[in-house]
């Protein structure tokens, strides 16, 4: 994640769009409007989603890299904090609508208005989908074993339809990948993976994920 405070505006302007991660600095906000996936913080434009930077006239937005995930109750998801109010976080889980995480279901207690003291914009979290509402928005929880903020490692993404191939029958392929790379890996139902280990192992996992995605594309995306 880069923080180039010398940039005078969105750095993709006049060039091919670039990939960014949540929390990444996009340049000064003066003269620009924040579109989808972009937030203004302290006079700077910040990405709140992973994707490509797009500039349409003066509006800067983020175009997601892949098709949206459809949440289901009890799904394990990895998300990014995209915003907050006095007692609610808004979490990007790769679905068409942001999920909400109420303070009562969050990682701890804070005074009213203290949500950002617990989790700030751009931070990554492991949650479960507690319920999906009729509007297709979802409510998350961090109350449960292994649900927490992510403080180390890296996050990668694959299309959710490839999760079966990644895990293999009875989880054998995933276990083998962990053994081969000596990495800790959590595979979430929304197609995001948390990977933690030595840099060589992380690179190995990334390479295998890329190979898997390329193979799927070459046969029409059939998992």
For range 28-41, the mean pLDDT = 86
**Which of 22-26, 82-86, 152-156, 187-191 shows the lowest mean pLDDT across its residues?**
22-26
Higher model confidence: residue 181 or residue 4? 181
Helical (H) or strand (E) element with 216 = helix 199-218
Position 50 pLDDT exceeds 90:
no
**Where are the domain boundaries for CATH 3.30.1370.10 in the chain?**
154-218
For range 56-69, the mean pLDDT = 78
**Where are the domain boundaries for CATH 2.40.50.140 in the chain?**
76-149
Select 76-149's CATH number: 2.40.50.140, 3.90.850.10, 3.40.1120.10, 3.40.50.720: 2.40.50.140
Position 222 pLDDT exceeds 70:
no
**Where are the domain boundaries for CATH 2.40.50.100 in the chain?**
1-65
Q: What is the pLDDT of residues 122-176, one digit of tens each?
A: 899 999 999 998 777 899 999 999 999 999 999 998 888 788 889 988 899 999 9
- For the chain, first and last CA: distance in Å? 31
Structural class in CATH, domain 154-218: alpha beta
pLDDT of residue 223: 39
For range 28-37, the mean pLDDT = 86
Residues 129, 127: Cα–Cα separation, whole Å:
7
On average, the pLDDT of the chain sits at 84
pLDDT of residue 152: 94
pLDDT of residue 65: 64
Q: What is the pLDDT of residues 175-192, one digit of tens each?
A: 999 999 999 999 999 999
Contact 112, 126 (CB under 8 A): no
- On the 0-12 / 13-18 / 19+ scale of CB atoms within 10 A, 132 is middle
pLDDT of residue 170: 85
pLDDT of residue 9: 57
DSSP state of 57: T
Residues 27, 7: Cα–Cα separation, whole Å:
5
* Three-class SS state of 175: helix
Considering the segment(s) 1-65 as one domain, its CATH architecture is Beta Barrel (2.40)
């Amino acid at each position: 994640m880069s923080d180039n405070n010398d940039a005078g505006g969105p750095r993709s302007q006049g060039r091919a769009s670039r990939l960014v991660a949540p929390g990444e600095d996009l340049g000064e906000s003066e003269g620009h409007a924040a579109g989808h996936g972009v937030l203004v913080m302290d006079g700077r434009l910040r990405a709140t989603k992973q994707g490509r930077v797009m500039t349409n006239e003066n509006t800067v937005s983020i175009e997601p890299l892949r098709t949206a995930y459809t949440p289901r109750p009890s799904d394990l998801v990895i998300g990014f904090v995209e915003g907050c109010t006095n007692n609610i976080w808004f979490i990007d889980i790769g679905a068409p609508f942001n999920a909400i995480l109420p303070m009562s279901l969050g990682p701890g207690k804070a005074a009213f208005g203290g949500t950002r003291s617990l989790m700030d914009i751009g931070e990554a979290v492991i949650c479960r989908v507690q319920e999906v509402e009729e509007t297709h928005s979802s409510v998350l929880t961090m109350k449960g074993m292994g649900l927490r903020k992510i403080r180390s490692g890296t996050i990668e993404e694959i299309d959710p339809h490839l999760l079966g191939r990644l895990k293999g029958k009875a989880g054998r392929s995933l276990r083998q990948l962990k053994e081969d790379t000596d990495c800790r890996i959590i595979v979430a139902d929304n197609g995001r993976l948390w990977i933690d280990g030595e840099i060589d192992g992380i690179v190995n996992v990334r390479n295998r994920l890329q190979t898997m995605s390329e193979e799927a594309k070459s046969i029409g995306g059939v998992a």
